[in-house]
Amino acid sequence: MLNLILFGPPGAGKGTQSEKIIAQYKLIHLSTGDLLRSEIQGGTELGLRAKTLMDQGLLVPDEVVIGMIDNKLKEHKECPGFIFDGFPRTVAQAEALDALLESYGESISVMVALVVDDNELLTRLLNRGKTSGRPDDQNEELISKRIHEYNSKTKPVADYYQAQGKYIAINGIGEIETIFEGITEAIEQA
């Protein structure tokens, strides 16, 4: 089974590349945002718990998110693998994900990180804001804060998987197809 973490800061191209990876490898896409919305919409116990917390402006605890991921793993036992998008964001989440996958006799195959310098990210996100209408992509100060948050809080996750020999950095600047070729090479080597 291929279990891939697609990693990178906002604006690195994860959305574009994840679509191509899913099409190529027939992986199930696990986005924590999508999972939360789906569980809430489905009225599940985890979804109701998450909604209560979110309505209070609180973050959903890791164990709730891991529970939602567990539900998806159970639901798709016969799939060729999963692509994790937006998770894990902390070392504690990575450890919890590893433990969950281990309970199924599985593990993360590879973490592919799209590396893009901060100036390029700022340019991309401002351009995306013009076309998407997303307010968080139209404010330069907010974008800089998101990039800083990523660099300071999620980089340790890359270090965690690098220590396991599962981290591969891919240059996220260039032609979409060239970047995708780099990703497929990384996957094939995993």
Confirm or deny that 123 is annotated as ligand binding. Answer: no
Confirm or deny that 129 is annotated as ligand binding. Answer: no
Give the catalytic positions in this structure.
14, 89, 128, 134, 146
Confirm or deny that 124 is annotated as ligand binding. Answer: no
What's the rounded Cα separation, in Å, for the pair 69 and 79?
14
**Helices within 14-80 (DSSP H only):** 14-25, 32-41, 45-55, 62-75
- Both tokens assigned to 19: 């679509």
Confirm or deny that 16 is annotated as ligand binding. Answer: yes
Confirm or deny that 33 is annotated as ligand binding. Answer: no
Residue 171: which of 13, 20, 4 has the closest Cα? 13
Confirm or deny that 131 is annotated as ligand binding. Answer: no
Confirm or deny that 93 is annotated as ligand binding. Answer: yes
Q: How many CB atoms lie within 10 A of CB 64?
A: 19
What's the rounded Cα separation, in Å, for the pair 101 and 87?
14
Confirm or deny that 36 is annotated as ligand binding. Answer: no
Confirm or deny that 180 is annotated as ligand binding. Answer: no
Residue 68: which of 32, 95, 92 has the closest Cα? 32
Confirm or deny that 154 is annotated as ligand binding. Answer: no
Q: Is the peptide bond before 88 cis (omega within 30 degrees of 0)?
A: yes
- Both tokens assigned to 131: 């076309």
Task: State phi, psi for 142 to the nearest 5 degrees.
Answer: -65, -40
Confirm or deny that 157 is annotated as ligand binding. Answer: no
- Both tokens assigned to 141: 């100060």
Annotated binding-site residue numbers for AMP: 32, 37, 58-60, 86-89, 93, 134, 146
Annotated binding-site residue numbers: 11-16, 32, 37, 58-60, 86-89, 93, 128, 134, 146, 174
